[in-house]
Amino acid sequence: NELDRAPSQGVGPEYMSSTEKPTATVSTQVSHANITILPQTPQLIALLTMIRDKNTNRADFIFHSNRIIRLLVEEGLNHLPVREHIVTTPVGKTYNGVRFEGKICGVSIMRAGEAMEQALRECCRSVRIGKILIQRDEETSQPRLFYDKLPEDIADRWVLLLDPMLATGGSALMAVDVLRSKGVPEERICFLNLIASPEGAANFAKKFPKLRVVTAFVDKGLDEKNYIVPGLGDFGDRFYTL
């Protein structure tokens, strides 16, 4: 039922009373333990409103998507292991901190996932990035692997898998199969995604319950063409000119 799946809440800074806050549609909450939905802050809802608007031009679409993607990358990094790291500060005192442990790499699902590489590079200097091209086979309408180029030591790395839209999950699930065939265990994969459908999130939770999914928003559902609704249309077409 559409209404059950469209929660709305007052969105605004804390000093605004609940009657002053505008009501906005926020993410559907899902009960899968492996999915993290970004906090539905006024910032995030405003950024999403901008990129969902069909009248938003390409430059604004890119700028505002990049900001959301940066939030996703920062949250995704919270899911990587850390270990104790004690440093001495310039005033001669010690600070008890942590540092990241282990090697990472990004893997983008072409072409839309490539739009998420820049934010990953900004957060992780000189990060290795692999690519996977999966397209729907015209005859069978099933996803088919066309190309992959991955770091040779990927089995020793944590993988941040990049794809902005999780519709049915067909291509992303196939991408995970490719990674597993190269020796990456599902628990070392974190899938970063802007908008997910409840169906896509459920398919991931069922097939790969130990793989982490970080998304900005779980939308209402899918239309008959498997577009996410309300969604934002075709992410690749809005981000890229060609």
| Residues carrying an active site annotation | 136, 140, 234, 237
Question: Distances in Å between the alpha carbon of 135 and those of 131, 140, 146?
Answer: 13, 11, 7
For ligand URA, which residue of 165, 170, 178, 183 counts as binding (CB under 6 A)?
Answer: 165
Among 6-14, 19-27, 113-121, 229-237, the segment contacting ligand URA (CB under 6 A): 229-237
Task: Tell me the chain's radius of gyration from C-alpha atoms.
Answer: 19
Q: Which residue has the tokens 């906090």?
A: 39
**Residue 110: how many CB atoms within 10 A of its CB?**
19
**Residue 209: how many CB atoms within 10 A of its CB?**
12
Q: Does 240 bind ligand URA (CB under 6 A)?
A: no
Q: Does 190 bind ligand URA (CB under 6 A)?
A: no
Q: Does 239 bind ligand URA (CB under 6 A)?
A: no
In 3D space, the residue among 140, 195, 138, 139 whose CA is nearest the CA of residue 172 turns out to be 195
Q: Does 110 bind ligand URA (CB under 6 A)?
A: no
β-sheet bridge partners, residue 94: 88
Q: Does 116 bind ligand URA (CB under 6 A)?
A: no
In 3D space, the residue among 211, 141, 218, 206 whose CA is nearest the CA of residue 176 turns out to be 211
Among 15-23, 82-90, 113-121, 234-242, the segment contacting ligand URA (CB under 6 A): 234-242
Q: Does 235 bind ligand URA (CB under 6 A)?
A: yes
Q: Does 227 bind ligand URA (CB under 6 A)?
A: yes
By CB under 6 A, name the binding residues for ligand URA: 112, 165, 167, 227-228, 231, 234-236
